[in-house]
Amino acid sequence: MPNLPNIRRGRRRNADSVPASAPRAPDIQRRDAHGLTWVHIESPGDAEVRWLAENHDFHPLDLEDVQSRRRQRAKIDAYDEYIFVVLHFPRFNKGTGRLQPEELNVFVADGLIITIPNEPLKPLSALFSRVQDPDEAAKVMHKGSGYLFYAILDTMADYGFPILDKISFKLDTIEEEMFEGRNDDLVRDISQVKQEILNYRKTIKPQRAVFRGLERHALKYAAEDLELYYDDIVDKVERAYDLLENYREVADALEATNESVLTHRLNAMVKFLTVLSAFVLPLTLIAGFYGMNIDVLPFAGSGGLSLVVTLGLMATAAAGIFVFFRHRRWL
């Protein structure tokens, strides 16, 4: 098992001894307060992973997971001296216009927290910025790494609820516009909101068991009993998952309703065209016969009387069709 991941301070090198092709310096942010160290690394690269390997005795497989560009599954790797946690949280990507999961790797040890998101996560960066203030640091860093880890999870869990509120607002808007004639546009809107629900659901569903297991592993790094605090995190995750299940059912119902409205309007259009054809067909037939200039037709050579007879036949045929349709309740 790895040893305690204490920070090893190497010898300072003379600046003149550094070769011109030396690798870039790692981007490491650090906060020390109340006997606790929080190291924050955004978008880790080779330099940051190399720094972790040089300064901490973490398992090589954990470092490999940190360095991997492929999204790792949510998990907890528990060791005697630390735990390594991989979690995922939703983030809206402005470039793609989609909601997608982002990975957060966390090392938790006695007196040490290292957070490593694959991409910057605003709530996590904001929390790290706040703890630069001594008063804010005293709130979350004076009870050990277990409590700081809880504060990080609580912040990230709360970040998901505004996203859920936006999904709920979109569903309400779609429902209000359902019968306002925008059904063709609503097909795209419903598809987009269903995609967001699916992506969010895919993010948190695999890690529900991970959140339940965090309590057992993280409490040993807490200065006090945090069982109720971690239960609250589990409740938030389960509540978010339940909301997503409800939103998925609502989206399916709205899609079915929208398709029903579109089908009803299509049927109404087909009905109108059918009725119009039924009226026009006999009138066209009569006009066609009298337009052939055949003398044997009744009143064919009577001049103006022929026109009157033709119009009368057309009116009679139209009236007969109308009465028949009304009798059958097709109109």
Residue 272 and residue 229 share a domain:
no
Residue 218: the pLDDT is 73
The CATH number assigned to the domain holding 52 equals 3.30.460.20
Please give the average per-residue pLDDT across 100-113, as a whole number: 91
Q: How far apart (Å, rounded) are the C-alpha atoms in residues 51 and 207? A: 29
Boundary of a domain, candidates 263, 287, 303: 263
Any domain includes 41: yes
In the block, tokens 């999204």 appear at 71
Question: Residue 318 maps to which CATH number?
Answer: 1.20.58
| 124/32 same-domain check | yes
Same domain, 299 and 241: no
Report the C-alpha gap between 331 and 300 in whole angstroms: 35
Q: Is residue 235 in a domain?
A: yes
- What's the sign of the alpha-carbon dihedral 322, 326, 327, 330? positive
Q: Are residues 238 and 309 in the same domain?
A: no
> Is 210 in the same domain as 274?
no
| Cβ-based neighbours of 266, under 8 Å, separated by 6 or more | none
Where is average pLDDT lowest: 138-152, 206-220, 291-305?
A: 291-305
- The pLDDT-based confidence of 11 (bands split at 50, 70, 90) is very low
Q: Is the pLDDT of residue 131 over 70?
A: yes
Mean per-residue pLDDT for 99-121?
A: 90
The mean predicted confidence, pLDDT, of the chain is 81
Residue 272 and residue 126 in one domain: no
Domain extent at residue 279: 265-327
Q: Give the C-alpha separation, 155 to 112, whole Å.
A: 18
pLDDT in the model for residue 13: 43
- The CA dihedral of 18, 24, 30, 36, to the nearest 10 degrees, is -70
210 pLDDT more than 50: yes
Tell whether the model's pLDDT for residue 222 goes beyond 80. Answer: no
Instruction: Count up the domains in the chain and report the number.
Output: 2
Higher per-residue confidence, 127 vs 319: 127
Between 61-65, 136-140, 233-237, 284-288, the lowest mean confidence (pLDDT) is in 284-288
More confident residue, 327 or 297: 327
Residues 6+ apart with CB under 8 A from 278: 321, 325
Give the C-alpha distances (Å, rounded to integers) separating 295 from 151, 299, 300, 301, 312. Answer: 99, 8, 5, 6, 19
Answer yes or no: do 160 and 243 share one domain: yes
Lowest mean pLDDT among 5-9, 48-52, 97-101, 260-264: 5-9
Q: Let me know whether 153 and 81 are in one domain.
A: yes
**pLDDT of res. 242:** 94
Least confident of 11-25, 89-103, 190-204: 11-25
Choose one of 245, 263, 281: the last residue of a domain.
263
Does the pLDDT at position 23 exceed 60? Answer: yes
**Dihedral angle sign, alpha carbons of residues 60, 66, 67, 72:** positive
Which among 263, 278, 295 is the end of a domain? Answer: 263
Q: pLDDT value at position 265? A: 81
pTM (2 d.p.)? 0.74
Q: C-alpha distances in angstroms, 238 versus 63, 91, 102, 205, 208?
A: 30, 19, 19, 9, 7
Say whether pLDDT at 104 is over 80. yes
Strand partners, 100: 91
pLDDT, tens digit (0-9, with 9 covering 90-100), for 270-316: 878 887 787 788 778 777 766 666 565 555 555 556 667 777 777 88
Q: What is the pLDDT of residue 224?
A: 67
Whether residue 103 is found in the same domain as residue 153? yes
Residue 231, pLDDT score: 87
Q: Are residues 257 and 303 in the same domain?
A: no
| Digit-coded pLDDT (tens) for 33-72 | 888 999 999 878 888 889 999 999 899 999 999 988 787 8
> Which residues does 187 contact at the CB level (< 8 Å), separation at least 6?
258, 262
pLDDT of residue 10: 40
The reported pLDDT for the residue numbered 185 is 77
Residue 223 — very low, low, confident or very high, per pLDDT cuts 50/70/90? low
Q: How many CB atoms lie within 10 A of CB 281?
A: 11
Query: Is residue 16 pLDDT above 60, yes or no?
Result: no
User: Parallel, antiparallel, or unpaired for β 75-78 and 36-40?
Assistant: unpaired
Q: 26 and 168 share a domain? A: yes
- Per-residue confidence (pLDDT) for residue 294, from 0 to 100: 59
Q: Phi and psi dihedrals of 88, rounded to 5?
A: -130, 140
Left (φ > 0), alpha (ψ -120 to 50) or beta: where does 299 sit?
left
| Domain assignment present for 5 | no
Does the residue 8 lie in any domain? no
For residue 2, tell me if it sits in a domain. no
One domain, residues 43 and 118: yes
